[in-house]
Structure 1
Amino acid sequence: MVMIRPFKAYRPRKDVAHKVAALPYDVMDSDEAREIVKDNMYSFLHIDKAEVDLPKTIDIYDRRVYEKAKENLKSFIENGILIEDSKSILYIYRLIMDRRVQTGIVACSSIDDYLTNNIKKHEKTREDKELDRINHVNICGAHTGPIFLTYRDKEEINKLVEEITSEEPNVDFLAEDGVEHIVWCVSNKDRINTLVSLFKEVPCTYIADGHHRAASAVKVGELRRDLVRSYKGDEEFNYFLSVLFPSSDLKIMDYNRVVKDLNGLTANELLEKVKEKFDVEKAYGSFKPREKHVFGMYLNKEWYKIRAKEDTFQDTVLEALDVSILQNNLLCPILGINDPRTDKRIDFVGGIRGLKELERLGDKYNGVAFALYPTTIDELMNIADNGEVMPPKSTWFEPKLRSGLFIHKLD
């Protein structure tokens, strides 16, 4: 049983929604964020990455950054950039990228569902990243970025969402990256109650993206429960901002790797070692894998097609993931990447950036780059169902949900 509930969102004024909406804070660094906000006073990055309004020398984890975020959020509200809805409702959020449509329900999810694993995870989190968002949420008193959840399709939900989205939307704009963002407000009480009831029939949801934000939202909720002690359960801090998408709508892109050196090997020595576990074939031109267990390897300005031999993995969902095969048979034993979560010698490159970016980085570092076949959404859900954890950076979702379109206040 999945618990969702309506809430009174703060949302951008319709005429500036396209200027407010911003990519998630964690897909860019501070310099990139400063460039984006330079000519946009409305950008939500003034709240999500508030260091853009402070000296460049400041540590991004300095308390002054979170206080500035709180100040900017208050200013956005006082100046009418963000306006609170008059009553608790649900929302439908649709993104269209390259004619591919994904449509989710914006609601508050229960921190208890997270704590009881009714919201399933597939990644480990890092303490420093959690602490950053704990401070941001707690000091701002708001969830400013939604957690991206998915669930196995339920026909009755799909039908009701289709009915709602056949009507005139409340917000519709095309972002600078060509992604269209559309919002419908679901204010009809019968529709709200129906959606809430239908989700009670959904066995569980899965975190698609936003593990750190989810963990942080839950820990803030627990902190506030401790302060209140005799909390009732209906306080806003017991819930966090989420968008729930049916799994059939989602597409996972490849998440590729670049290693910045050859671990003391020559290119020829590396090739010989790779051949122990992979069938290696020179490619003519760039090579993008089209099937599981096949990888593209860019080395010394040349592309190779490498296919994992049958004895390189066990027949389990986790071990058969291409990210696991590459890590266990090549990155760790040959290139010495023991912990890809912390090793500074490895970079991760989202598939949206293309093979040219892998070539650029491979040449820059005189290292080696790997193009992977994407993890599937079914693999993600099966691994979460088994209580297992994927290797880091296993999934890259596009399009990215925009921050600033919905804000959930805790106070």
Structure 2
Amino acid sequence: MVEVKEFEGLRPKNPKEFCTKPYDVISEEEANELRKNTNTAINIILPVGEGDEKYENAKKEFERLKEDMIRDEPSIYLYKEGDEEFSHRGFILCASLEDYEKGLIKKHEETREKPLQDRIKHIEAVKANTGLVWTVFKRNDEIKKLMDEIMIEKPVYDFEKYENRHILWKINDEEKINKIKELFKDIPLYIADGHHRIAAAWHYWKKYDDGEAKY
């Protein structure tokens, strides 16, 4: 039902230092504190400046920081976040915007023009997706089993921040990747968070007719 695929990810060498909360839940006070460290993602996801200047600043910061990042081979990732009482996990992968257009990736809220234009301009400047679109799906025993198998392996990240533990596994095994692709063909996805991010990605794809931007 939904086409998914692997991608060439860029990863920081020090994720605990680099990572921040999502851009839309960071207060001005938190942002100012984060900007004291030039090795965080804050000036990419929440750049300073007025008008189009801030998007150009985001681009410059992304170009600077990516020089020292790890560039992975085409992969899918499994991410787990939480504490001892509650945690969730999911795959980080590319999904087809054509399936979003067809309504196979289902939304539950409408987008607002101002934040939508902000995300469109950000993608146009940075030429990268710097935030995730969170989707959910109904319980699937085969996916659960595959996740359990992957979690036995050694993760590429395992650190604590914002009172949660964050663990990331890289999946570059062709057999596992093909298994994930096959499983998601029969699963409808529901957007839990990221309506403006996915809508902006769709607008970018349609505007520039960029084949790679389809995902």
Give the TM-score range, shorter chain: over 0.9
Partner SS for 2:93: strand
> 1:243-322 residue pairs with structure 2 within 5 A?
none
The residue identity in structure 2 corresponding to 1:130 is L
Partner SS for 1:91: strand
The residue identity in structure 1 corresponding to 2:214 is N
Aligned to 2:9: 9
The residue identity in structure 2 corresponding to 1:71 is K
Confirm or deny that 1:183 pairs with 2:168. yes
> 1:165-184 residue pairs with structure 2 within 5 A?
165-175=151-161, 177-184=162-169
Aligned to 2:35: 37
How many Å apart are 1:207 and its aligned residue? 0.5
Match of 1:77 among 47, 63, 66: 66
Aligned to 2:186: 201
Partner SS for 2:186: coil
How many residues align? The count is 215
How many Å apart are 1:32 and its aligned residue? 3.0
User: 1 or 2, which has the higher helix percentage?
Assistant: 2
Match of 1:21 among 19, 25, 33: 19
- What do residues 224-249 of structure 1 show as CA deviations (whole Å, max 9, x unaligned)? 11xx6xxxxxx32001xxxxxxxxxx
Match of 1:163 among 137, 141, 149: 149
Q: How far, CA to CA, are the matches of 1:71 and 1:102 in structure 2?
A: 33
Q: How far, CA to CA, are the matches of 1:64 and 1:70 in structure 2?
A: 10
Higher relative contact order (CA 8 A, sep 6+): 2
How many Å apart are 1:95 and its aligned residue? 0.3
Q: How far, CA to CA, are the matches of 2:28 and 2:197 in structure 1?
A: 18
The residue identity in structure 2 corresponding to 1:181 is H
Match of 2:44 among 37, 42, 47: 47
How many Å apart are 1:29 and its aligned residue? 3.7
Q: How far, CA to CA, are the matches of 2:98 and 2:136 in structure 1?
A: 17
In the alignment, structure 1 segments of 5+ residues that lack a partner are 52-57, 229-234, 240-411
The residue identity in structure 2 corresponding to 1:201 is D
How many Å apart are 1:198 and its aligned residue? 0.7
Superposition TM-score, scaled by structure 2 size: 0.96
Q: How far, CA to CA, are the matches of 1:196 and 1:135 in structure 2?
A: 31
Q: How far, CA to CA, are the matches of 1:68 and 1:210 in structure 2?
A: 23
Q: How far, CA to CA, are the matches of 1:107 and 1:209 in structure 2?
A: 15
- What do residues 244-267 of structure 1 show as CA deviations (whole Å, max 9, x unaligned)? xxxxxxxxxxxxxxxxxxxxxxxx
Aligned to 2:194: 210
Q: How far, CA to CA, are the matches of 1:47 and 1:30 in structure 2?
A: 15
Q: How far, CA to CA, are the matches of 1:10 and 1:223 in structure 2?
A: 25
How many Å apart are 1:181 and its aligned residue? 0.5
Counterpart contact for 1:30–1:49, Cα < 8 Å: no
How many Å apart are 1:34 and its aligned residue? 1.4
Moved more, 192-201 or 28-37: 28-37
How many Å apart are 1:31 and its aligned residue? 4.0
Counterpart contact for 1:20–1:43, Cα < 8 Å: yes
Cα RMSD between the aligned structures? 1.2
Confirm or deny that 1:113 pairs with 2:99. yes
In the alignment, structure 2 segments of 5+ residues that lack a partner are none
